[in-house]
Amino acid sequence: RLKTSENKERNRRLQIYISKLKNHGLLAESKKENGKLTLSQEGQEKLMELRSQDRYRNYKKEKIDHSLIVAFDIPESERGKRDWLRDILKGLDFEMIQRSVWVGQVRFPEELLADLEKLNILECVQVLEVTKLGTLKNIEKNVEKTKK
């Protein structure tokens, strides 16, 4: 059960969100049903537009024999886009190394590149292809030799 202060804060945030939706013309209060909130015509059109974009579509998972590293630095103001990208990478079987660094052995889908461009975050994302073993393997071997 939520503490009273947490509940008040949650209700305050909800009221702010509802107010913003009303100000944008996406919600309307029903005069017949004692102020019941409904989607306005503009809200219904916006919902249809968002559903047609299908940003959570299933991207093709094509396995590859080397690793890709996906790193991103998407601004805090674009938090929803950051969370969306994390969901997509998880769905593509990438593993999280840090919250903004992911590794996987799946070809990066061209459709995802196009979606990143549409969302204006392509410049915030780096995709690196690892085709050779790094120097750490060589260092480990040298350390083991010196221990003998």
* pLDDT surpassing 80 at residue 128: yes
Contacts of 140 (CB under 8 A, 6+ apart): none
Phi and psi torsions of 5, nearest 5°: -65, -40
Q: pLDDT by residue (tens digit) across 10-49?
A: 889 999 989 999 999 989 888 777 778 888 888 888 877 7
Contact between 102 and 93 (Cβ < 8 Å): no
Question: How many Cα atoms sit within 13 Å of 69 on the Cβ side?
Answer: 9
Query: The pTM is what?
Result: 0.57
Q: pLDDT by residue (tens digit) across 89-112?
A: 999 999 999 999 999 999 999 999
Confidence (pLDDT) at 74: 96
